[in-house]
Amino acid sequence: MQIKDTEIQKQITALNEQIDLLDKKFYFYFIARDKFPPLKDLIKIKADIEKLKSVKDRIILDRKKFVINSFMHRFVSYRTKWEKALKEIEDGRAKPNPEFFSKKNNGVSKEKKAAAGEVAKEKYGLNFDIILGDLKQSDDLRVLDYNGHNIMELFPFKTLGNPLYYE
């Protein structure tokens, strides 16, 4: 029995919508808007994905397998994020609160970021102001200096503080 592309695409579209909704539900739990995590919804989606995996095993075309694998990778990344946050809560390292995600901030406080910006402004002078003045709402990244040698001269490792390790 051959499975049509449109059937697979409909299943994946529906599952993507369910994942987006589940992500919002987990977000509401992590920011303490909801009292309980949406674990029942997670179990349901996992079961639906297992069905999709069984379909994938019967597919011959690589194109269809690629689409399903891409979707599976997306789900795994979301599931990992949710389970990691749940584990932090279970272990007592975190509590659901309105600033659940903003506290992490890669271990760097807002004060440290502001201080780093001031140091960069002091060292780069007018170039810093020019690049900052070119700021647009759509821009996410601006490069202040391409020259690695110059950067390391201005910001030697000893001035950067202790290294931050992340696994």
pLDDT by residue, tens only, the chain of 167 residues: 455 667 888 888 999 999 999 999 999 999 888 999 999 999 999 999 888 888 777 776 777 778 888 888 889 989 998 998 899 888 888 888 877 766 554 455 666 667 777 888 888 888 777 777 666 545 556 677 778 788 888 888 777 777 777 66
For residue 33, tell me if it sits in a domain. Answer: yes
Same domain, 67 and 122: no
Same domain, 128 and 55: no
Query: Which of these three, 58, 90, 122, is where a domain ends?
Result: 90
For the purposes of burial, counting CB atoms within 10 Å of the CB of 30, is it exposed (0-12), middle (13-18) or buried (19 or more)?
buried
* Residues present in the chain in total: 167
pTM listed for this prediction: 0.57
Same domain, 47 and 118: no
Residues 6+ apart with CB under 8 A from 157: none
Domain coverage including residue 142? 111-160
Our count of domains for the chain comes to 2
For residues 39-50, one letter each, b for 16 or more C-beta atoms within 10 angstroms of the residue's C-beta and e for the rest, the string is: eeebeebeeebe
Same domain, 56 and 16: yes
Same domain, 11 and 73: yes
Same domain, 36 and 85: yes
